[in-house]
């Protein structure tokens, strides 16, 4: 049966970011990576994470993410467990439970900046440590195929957003341009987001109606293993 | 950080079964459980599974399932990893990667009968070993909320099935009676199953049109981590 494997956690955190916050360019779907300064994979970027301690898997993901990146997202979801033999080149067997989250740009801005951490574009990554390119590829596939656009908008944009912001998020996630008038009609017919009585004023654009995610249409339902967002201990 | 945890796999296998194959009663949503004859949880039922060997996680699930139950489902899907401290009462830390599958009654009938294995009704379980009641509860929630009825029918009924059989599966999974005429209209409007040119004759009922799952409408898409159904080794 070989040696007992190690258990580790890793996290994939997606946010829409501009490297330069004053830029007028659309933001990029990005994730934080940690620069490795020791073997294996010295000099490569890796997902935030680390070994499991005397804690739940989710708490381990939360602890190692905060320690490396300063990020403390409200909600981390378990995504997949990777455990193929040979994931680590030094002969150790490592089983990694991967958690993921979508966070808003302002949450990123509030995190303490950390050494050796950089946000890289999810669709233009270098070769990462371990099998982390595959992990990110799977996370992108889940984001693009398994998460509703209402939930993506809510998680990445926050409580309220304009239709323009919503369309830009969809364009980035779907990787294609959308016609503004068609997009507005689809959103209004769909009901997953609803208009508020508020307007966004100022900035580069005309005043625009603010919308919110309609939690009545699509509650975030975690089922019987729903956990509190943070453990009490 | 405490001792290094053990890594194990478990499987939740759902099938629609009649304890007595000649019964005219609708079948029951059931899963195979293994009777434990040693501590911890001596005398309780547990999910099939065992420790991870020098193999992929999926191969470990496949191996331990076949060894305990004789079942070899075509497709096992990773469901969730359970790793809370205190899952095992003897002080060991066990992280369990749980796989699941839906199998047809005829696959169950072909499996070699095994000692200490029994199929129990998923909605009427005794207290199981470890946290396995929670694991099954989560699997039932996934089945009822996250899997389309087309896929459920395809997996539990096989290539072709009558509308009556399809309705009975839906009734069992949704746990409520459905009006046959309304059900037929919904199915025909939906397009997830389509009629074939075949009829089912014989048995207790009138000849009835056979339908099949429309894979064009809803391909089973596993994304970039899709694995072959069985490893080559």
| Tens digits of residue pLDDT in A119-137 | 999 999 999 999 999 999 9
Q: What is the per-residue pLDDT for B216?
A: 66
What CATH number is given to the structural domain containing A24?
A: 3.90.79.10
The domain of A102 spans: 6-146
Question: Is residue B43 very low, low, confident or very high in pLDDT (cuts 50, 70, 90)?
Answer: very high
Confirm whether B228 is domain-assigned.
no
Of A146, A173, A190, which residue sits at a domain end? A146
DSSP A54-75: SS-HHHHHHHHHHHHH----S-
Give the Cα-Cα-Cα angle A173, A175, A178 (nearest 5 degrees).
Answer: 95
CA distance A129 to A44: 6
B88 is a domain residue: yes
pLDDT at B124 over 70: yes
* Bridge partner residues of B65 (DSSP): none
pLDDT at A3: 65
* Per-residue pLDDT at B228 exceeds 60: no
Give which of A69, A93, A66, A68 is closest to A82, Cα–Cα.
Answer: A93
* Paired residues of A30 in beta bridges: A15, A121
pLDDT at B75: 82
Mean of all residue pLDDT scores within chain A: 85
* pLDDT over 70, % of chain B: 90
Same domain membership, residue B29 and residue B119? yes
Average pLDDT over residues A88-111: 87
Write out pLDDT tens, residues B178-215: 999 999 898 888 788 889 999 988 777 788 999 988 87
Choose the closest CB to A78 out of B2, B51, B81: B81
| Three-state DSSP class for residue B165 | helix
Predicted TM-score (pTM) of this structure = 0.87
The reply to whether residue A85 touches residue B7, judged by beta carbons under 8 angstroms, is no
Q: Is the CB of A56 less than 8 angstroms away from the CB of B84?
A: yes
Q: How far are the Cα atoms of A93, A182, B94 from residue A86, in angstroms, in the given order?
A: 7, 48, 22
Report yes or no on A231 lying in a domain.
no
Mark which of A125, A146, A167 sits at the end of a domain: A146
Based on the structure, what is the number of domains in chain A? 2
Place of tokens 């009649």: B18
- Tokens representing residue A188 in the block: 């209004």
Average pLDDT of the segment spanning A142-156:
81
Tell me the CATH number at A172: 1.10.10.10
Please provide residue A79's backbone torsions phi and psi, each rounded to the nearest 5 degrees.
-105, -55
B139 shares a domain with B89: yes
Q: Does residue A181 sit at the B interface (CB-CB below 8 Å)?
A: no
pLDDT at B220: 46
Assess whether pLDDT exceeds 70 at residue A168: yes
State the pLDDT at residue B137.
94
Q: Does B75 share its domain with B107? A: yes
State whether B224 and A138 contact (CB < 8 Å): yes
Query: Between B231 and A141, where is the model more confident?
Result: A141
Tell me, yes or no, whether B23 and B87 share the same domain.
yes
In this structure, are A95 and A195 located in the same domain?
no
Q: Which two tokens stand for residue A222?
A: 């975690």
Say whether pLDDT at B229 is over 90. no
Q: What is the rounded average pLDDT of the residues A24-30?
A: 85
For residues B48 and B103, state if they share a domain.
yes
Neighbours of B160 (CB within 10 A): 17
Q: Which residue has the higher pLDDT, A3 or B156?
A: B156
Tokens 């056979």 — which residue? B210
| A175 Ramachandran zone, left/alpha/beta (phi>0; psi -120 to 50) | left
Which of B2, B3, B6, B7 is the best substitution to test chain A (most A C-beta atoms within 10 A)? B7
- The answer to whether the Cβ–Cβ distance between A138 and B54 falls below 8 Å is no
Q: Does A63 touch chain B (CB under 8 A)?
A: no
A124 or A146: which carries more pLDDT confidence? Answer: A124
CB-closest option in B55, B223, B225 to A145: B223
Please say which residue of A110, A129, A146 terminates a domain.
Answer: A146
Residue B59 vs residues A58, A135, B140, B210: alpha-carbon distances, Å:
25, 19, 23, 35
User: In this predicted structure, which of A224-233, B53-62, B201-210 has the lowest mean pLDDT?
Assistant: A224-233
| CA A87 – CA A77 distance, rounded (Å) | 22
């Amino acid at each position: 049966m070989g040696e007992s494997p190690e258990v580790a956690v890793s996290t994939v955190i997606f946010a829409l970011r501009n490297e330069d916050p004053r830029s007028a360019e659309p933001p990029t779907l990005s994730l934080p990576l940690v620069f490795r300064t020791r073997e294996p994979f010295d000099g490569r970027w890796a997902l935030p994470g680390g070994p499991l301690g005397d804690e739940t898997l989710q708490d381990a993901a939360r602890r190692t993410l905060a320690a490396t990146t300063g990020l403390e997202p409200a909600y981390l979801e378990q995504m997949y467990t990777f455990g193929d033999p040979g994931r680590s080149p030094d002969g150790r067997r490592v089983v990694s439970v991967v958690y993921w989250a979508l966070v808003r740009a302002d949450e990123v801005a509030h995190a303490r900046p950390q050494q050796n951490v950089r946000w890289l574009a999810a669709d233009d990554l270098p070769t990462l440590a371990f099998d982390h390119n595959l992990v990110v590829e799977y996370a992108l596939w889940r984001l693009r195929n398994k998460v509703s656009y209402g939930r993506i908008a809510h998680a990445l944009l926050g409580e309220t957003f304009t239709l323009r912001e919503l369309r830009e998020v969809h364009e980035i996630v779907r990787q294609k341009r959308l016609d503004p008038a068609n997009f507005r009609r689809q959103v209004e017919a769909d009901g997953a987001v609803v208009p508020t009585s508020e307007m966004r004023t100022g900035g580069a654009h005309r005043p625009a109606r603010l919308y919110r995610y309609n939690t009545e249409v699509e509650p975030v339902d975690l089922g019987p293993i729903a956990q509190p967002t943070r453990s009490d201990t």
